[in-house]
């Protein structure tokens, strides 16, 4: 059993063992340059050809082109550049063209940012229009139909990365039938989960990314329909038929080939029905753990691998922290800004109120996630909820944990006041002078390097400094749900926000033992160490990089969190 229960597969996935082996071989025996004409080159070229052939079969590329590149962000740039260059050429020839660039309001940021960037760089100054979606994340097809005749390029996604909402591609194609717009479909989250036969659609460009489906980061593919305009983003040695120069990322392509082979004929990936069942189990467990759970994913119109939820009584930062302490990796549905979670633009576009979208979390399993992992996740989720309830029952108000009946564990914001948003959700109002999450995450400037003890040096440090006081400065709930390396298991738990209460007794000690602080990332513990040293407690130390970098110190018996067998 792994320490990590990784449920953030829409962000990235692990790599399949077969993918790692293939990448290793491509860096070992078959390290040749696929452009070389000697035998080493030919062996590399065979891998390149084999991966492309598999991708073409799986995606129904037909007479279109399948170009290897660095990932979907590059694929999106290339598609947008190609469409806009063609538009500019048409205009230069005096031809009538569409004048609006349309993108779905829930697209990955790579899409609207690319549209803005290339529209400006190419001096086109076209109107850029966000196409609204409904409460299930489905595009407004009536509006698209009305725009179709004037649209030059339309960008939609096959499936959404935050909610898993699967777009109605046939409906979009029908809405576009009244015009000549080029059509980009971001297929990143669809690969391996939705069957695609690209050449039988009117899709012009479809970017894919290896690291969302068990291949490494830095490899991707772009489908280009036969006859769709194309302008290379990168020019040089003419690789990829002149469509993308630069020596191919052969370890990445070989690994992607191994993943595609598993998709075509292997047993690594689970069926849609099995993935649905896994998601159902997670929903059941989450509902037991958090009875006020709200599901933001349109379950019957979404990828079976994605679940976006809000627990009204618990803010997303809290859930993330507690889950992370319990070894469950999930993500907020939105980026975090300086002081508090920003409402997710995806959920906002779906019409969810800010309190619900800013507290959303995304749980995304991979197409290869097995039942053991799901069962462990369910049991740990329920353990986290029990620990949060216990904190609530213990009257955690004093720690700034519970506000307005809501659980808002956040020792980074001690004594923060609360306001209640619609639906009774507590929002934090940070008083000046307290540590915000962003400050906590920012690296500490000018910290005396002697404060930091690296995880590798920890065993020797503790041998040398017998009697070290070890202090976990995380929140009590994080402390309660986490497993600690044996070397740290004697830790006292004194959250950073309550450190001031312990400091006088330490300062009064006639002989000051070393104090080693630790937390998840090393930031809170660095703050604690800096504070103590400022108070002339010279033997204060911090575990550099926190528990995140010390996972290897967990011994085998300590790794399982009491997961079911």
Long-range CB contacts for residues 114-122, cutoff 8 Å, separation at least 24: 114/76, 114/77, 114/80, 115/80, 115/153, 115/155, 118/77, 118/80, 118/81, 118/84, 119/84, 122/84, 122/85, 122/88
Residue 220 in contact with ligand PLP, rule: CB under 6 A? yes
Q: Smallest distance, Å, CB 10 to ligand PLP?
A: 6
Q: Smallest distance, Å, CB 79 to ligand PLP?
A: 12
Residue 172 in contact with ligand PLP, rule: CB under 6 A? no
Stretch that binds ligand PLP, among 67-75, 134-142, 382-390, 539-547 (CB under 6 A): 67-75
Stretch that binds ligand PLP, among 52-60, 65-73, 320-328, 546-554 (CB under 6 A): 65-73
Residues of this chain, 526-555, that bind ligand PLP according to CB under 6 A: none
Residue 193 in contact with ligand PLP, rule: CB under 6 A? no
Residue 139 in contact with ligand PLP, rule: CB under 6 A? no
Residue 129 in contact with ligand PLP, rule: CB under 6 A? no
Region of residue 546 (phi > 0: left; psi between -120 and 50: alpha; otherwise: beta):
left
Residue 71 in contact with ligand PLP, rule: CB under 6 A? yes
For the chain, the first-to-last Cα distance in angstroms comes to 9
Q: Are strands 331-332 and 360-364 parallel, antiparallel or unpaired?
A: antiparallel
CB 317 within 8 A of CB 342: no
Nearest one of 447, 445, 450, 446 to 461, comparing CA atoms: 450
Tokens representing 532 are: 């103590």
- Residue 39 CB neighbours (<10 A): 9
Question: Whose Cβ is closer to ligand PLP: residue 302's or residue 383's?
Answer: 302
The distance of Cα 449 from the centroid of its chain, to the nearest Å, equals: 31
Nearest one of 497, 289, 528 to 410, comparing CA atoms: 497
**336 carries an active-site annotation:** yes
The distance of Cα 490 from the centroid of its chain, to the nearest Å, equals: 33
Residue 108 in contact with ligand PLP, rule: CB under 6 A? yes
Question: Whose Cβ is closer to ligand PLP: residue 347's or residue 488's?
Answer: 347
Residue 83 in contact with ligand PLP, rule: CB under 6 A? no
Stretch that binds ligand PLP, among 46-54, 183-191, 379-387, 481-489 (CB under 6 A): 183-191
Residue 161 in contact with ligand PLP, rule: CB under 6 A? yes
Of the residues 186, 204, 315, 472, which one makes contact with ligand PLP according to CB under 6 A: 186
Q: Are strands 127-131 and 100-104 parallel, antiparallel or unpaired?
A: parallel
Q: Smallest distance, Å, CB 9 to ligand PLP?
A: 11
Tokens representing 196 are: 């695609």
Residue 222 in contact with ligand PLP, rule: CB under 6 A? no
Stretch that binds ligand PLP, among 185-193, 226-234, 409-417, 510-518 (CB under 6 A): 185-193
Q: Smallest distance, Å, CB 186 to ligand PLP?
A: 5
Burial 126-160 (b: 16+ CB within 10 A, else e): beebebebeebbbbbbeebbebbeebbbbbbbbbb
Residue 188 in contact with ligand PLP, rule: CB under 6 A? yes
Residue 72 in contact with ligand PLP, rule: CB under 6 A? yes
| 3-state secondary structure (DSSP) of residue 33 | coil
CB 307 within 8 A of CB 362: yes
Instruction: With CB under 6 A as the rule, give the number of residues binding ligand PLP.
Output: 12
Q: Smallest distance, Å, CB 304 to ligand PLP?
A: 17
Stretch that binds ligand PLP, among 24-32, 184-192, 194-202, 232-240 (CB under 6 A): 184-192
Residue 366 in contact with ligand PLP, rule: CB under 6 A? no
- Residue 431 CB neighbours (<10 A): 11
Name the residue number minimizing CB distance to ligand PLP.
Answer: 71
Q: Helix, strand, coil proportions of the chain in percent (round to 5)?
A: 40, 15, 40
Choose the catalytic residue: 187, 336, 384, 519. Answer: 336
Q: Tell me how long the chain is.
A: 565
Rg (CA), the chain: 26
Question: Whose Cβ is closer to ligand PLP: residue 209's or residue 383's?
Answer: 209
Residue 110 in contact with ligand PLP, rule: CB under 6 A? yes
* Edge-to-edge strand ranges of the sheet holding 492-493: 452-453, 540-543, 515-518, 469-472, 492-493
| 3-state secondary structure (DSSP) of residue 375 | helix
Residue 157 in contact with ligand PLP, rule: CB under 6 A? yes
Stretch that binds ligand PLP, among 70-78, 256-264, 457-465, 531-539 (CB under 6 A): 70-78
Q: Smallest distance, Å, CB 162 to ligand PLP?
A: 9
Of the residues 209, 249, 364, 542, which one makes contact with ligand PLP according to CB under 6 A: 209
Contacts to ligand PLP by CB under 6 A: 71-73, 108, 110, 157, 161, 186, 188-189, 209, 220
Catalytic residue positions, numbered: 336
């Amino acid at each position: 059993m792994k320490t990590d229960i990784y449920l953030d597969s829409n962000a990235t996935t692990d790599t399949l063992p077969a993918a790692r082996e293939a990448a290793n071989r491509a860096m070992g025996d078959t390290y040749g340059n696929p452009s070389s004409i000697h035998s080493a080159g030919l062996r590399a070229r065979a891998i390149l050809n084999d991966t492309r052939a598999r991708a073409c079969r799986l995606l129904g590329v037909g007479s279109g082109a399948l170009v290897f590149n660095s990932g979907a962000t590059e694929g999106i740039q290339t598609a947008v550049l190609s469409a806009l260059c063609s538009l500019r050429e048409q205009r230069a020839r005096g031809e009538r063209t569409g004048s609006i660039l349309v993108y779905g309001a829930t697209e990955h940021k790579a899409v609207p940012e690319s549209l803005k960037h290339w529209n400006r760089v190419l001096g086109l100054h076209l109107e850029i229009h966000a196409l609204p979606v409904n409460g299930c994340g489905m595009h407004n097809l009536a509006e698209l139909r009305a725009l179709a005749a004037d649209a030059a390029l339309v960008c939609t996604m096959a499936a959404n990365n935050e909610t898993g909402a699967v777009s109605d591609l046939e409906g979009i194609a029908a809405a576009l039938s009244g015009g000549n717009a080029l059509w980009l479909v971001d297929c990143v989250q669809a690969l391996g989960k939705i069957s695609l036969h690209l050449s039988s659609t009117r899709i012009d460009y479809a970017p894919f990314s290896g690291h969302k489906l068990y291949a490494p980061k830095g490899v991707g593919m772009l489908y280009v329909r036969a006859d769709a305009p194309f302008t290379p983003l990168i020019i040089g040695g003419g690789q990829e038929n002149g469509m993308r120069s630069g020596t191919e990322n052969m370890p990445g392509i070989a690994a992607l080939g191994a993943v595609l082979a598993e998709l075509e004929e292997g047993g690594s990936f689970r069926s849609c029905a099995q993935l649905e069942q896994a998601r159902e189990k997670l929903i059941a467990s989450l509902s037991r753990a958090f009875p006020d759970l709200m599901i933001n994913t349109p379950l019957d119109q979404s990828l079976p691998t994605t679940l976006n939820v809000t627990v009204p009584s618990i803010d997303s930062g809290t859930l993330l922290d507690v889950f992370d302490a319990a070894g469950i990796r999930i993500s907020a549905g939105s980026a975090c800004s300086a002081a508090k979670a920003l409402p997710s633009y995806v959920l906002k576009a779906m019409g969810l109120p800010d309190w619900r979208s800013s507290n959303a979390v995304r749980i995304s399993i991979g197409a290869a996630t097995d039942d053991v992992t799901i069962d462990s996740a369910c049991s740990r989720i329920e353990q986290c909820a029990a620990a949060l309830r216990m904190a609530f029952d213990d009257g955690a108000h004093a720690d700034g944990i519970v506000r307005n009946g809501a659980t808002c564990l956040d020792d980074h914001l001690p004594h923060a006041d609360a306001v209640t948003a619609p639906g009774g959700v507590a929002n934090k109002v940070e008083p000046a002078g307290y540590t915000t999450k962003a400050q906590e995450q920012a690296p500490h400037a000018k910290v005396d390097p002697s404060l930091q003890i690296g995880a590798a040096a920890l065993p020797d440090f503790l041998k040398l400094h017998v009697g070290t006081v070890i202090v976990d400065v995380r929140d009590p709930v994080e402390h309660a749900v986490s497993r600690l390396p044996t070397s740290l298991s004697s830790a006292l738990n004194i959250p950073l926000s309550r450190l001031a209460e312990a400091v006088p007794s330490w300062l009064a000690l006639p002989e000051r033992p070393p104090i080693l602080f630790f937390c998840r990332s090393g930031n809170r513990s660095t703050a604690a160490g800096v504070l103590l040293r400022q108070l002339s407690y010279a033997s204060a130390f911090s575990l550099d990089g926190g528990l995140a970098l010390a996972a290897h110190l967990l011994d085998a018996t300590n790794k399982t969190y009491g997961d079911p067998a």
